[in-house]
Homo-oligomer: A and B are copies of this chain.
């Protein structure tokens, strides 16, 4: 079996494009751009909790990085550098090769230098730390939403959860829908371009990792506001509705924008070739509370808002 150092050399050491010193010393050296703040975030993915042990290694490599990129997108930051720490039960070369291929495909897609990491033996676990840049004072925070703001969501949330439900045998989707939903589950597309475009436009933003209502709730709690959602075209089936409202793992952005700038957001849909849907409004009220209405204005019952690892 190859050594830890050989593994790192072979699969995780690649040329960098904007880094002073990458993998191979006690730490990496990076030089932030003048006038910028750094956004830094870390996420841990655990076999059995975040992914099935049998998940395709290449998909998993992509997703491991993509979920971190999404955190930067939600802050309006430009992703720049990432580190990967991995615990592996054994150093299976073919598995690692495929994982690395997916991981670096995502790194290349978003021009991210992989500058460091750690490889150790243990139950399969991946921990990525990502760093990005944003001009001083321009980061999108959760805490800036104000009464009167529109609430928007990108893409078509709920698909990843529906894909998971299909894998779990809780729903049977037609073939094209299944393919689409499994793609959303396995190859999430972080909304970096949208996050950058929302600088100076959105008053608050978050990515949907725990569930649409749960994550919107975080924004509202941090902003001291409430919201009413008015959802057109709510699916009839209970499970599809649950996936839409409470399904995690989508990595779309939910964001608040002053109603006066509605046309600016609509213009982004075309520029980014990405659906952006107006789903409700921020209002005064109990911090974090959300009322959900259907298109006819009738209240919709909501069960669990989202996912919590320890509940």
- Chosen A-B contacts, 18 in total, with CB atoms closer than 8 Å, are A4-B308, A4-B309, A5-B308, A24-B142, A26-B207, A27-B39, A27-B41, A29-B134, A30-B40, A31-B136, A41-B116, A42-B117, A43-B85, A46-B122, A48-B122, A49-B87, A49-B120, A122-B125
* Contact of A44 with B86 at beta-carbon distance under 8 Å, contacts A29-B39, A30-B37 already known: yes
Contact in complex: B311, A129 (CB < 8 Å):
no
**A10-42 with Cβ < 8 A to chain B:** 20-21, 24-32, 37-42
> Which positions in A face B, CB cutoff 8 Å?
1-5, 7, 20-21, 24-32, 37-44, 46-50, 71-72, 74-75, 77, 81, 83-87, 90-91, 115-123, 125, 127, 129-132, 134, 136, 139, 141-143, 206-207, 222, 308-311
Docked CA distance A5–B143 (Å): 17
Contacts of A44 in B (CB 8 A): 85-87, 118, 120, 122, 125, 127
- Per a CB cutoff under 8 Å, which of B5, B25, B116 touches A42? B116
Contacts of A30 in B (CB 8 A): 37-38, 40
Contact in complex: B40, A310 (CB < 8 Å):
no
Docked CA distance A310–B5 (Å): 9
Contacts of A115 in B (CB 8 A): 40
Oligomeric state, in copies? 2
Contact in complex: A41, B28 (CB < 8 Å):
yes
Contact in complex: B206, A26 (CB < 8 Å):
yes
* Contact of A27 with B72 at beta-carbon distance under 8 Å, contacts A42-B129, A43-B85, A125-B44 already known: yes
> Told that A29-B39, A29-B139, A46-B120 touch, could you supply 5 new A-B pairs with CB distance under 8 A?
A1-B310, A5-B308, A27-B77, A46-B122, A119-B310
Docked CA distance A42–B83 (Å): 7
Contacts of A308 in B (CB 8 A): 3-5
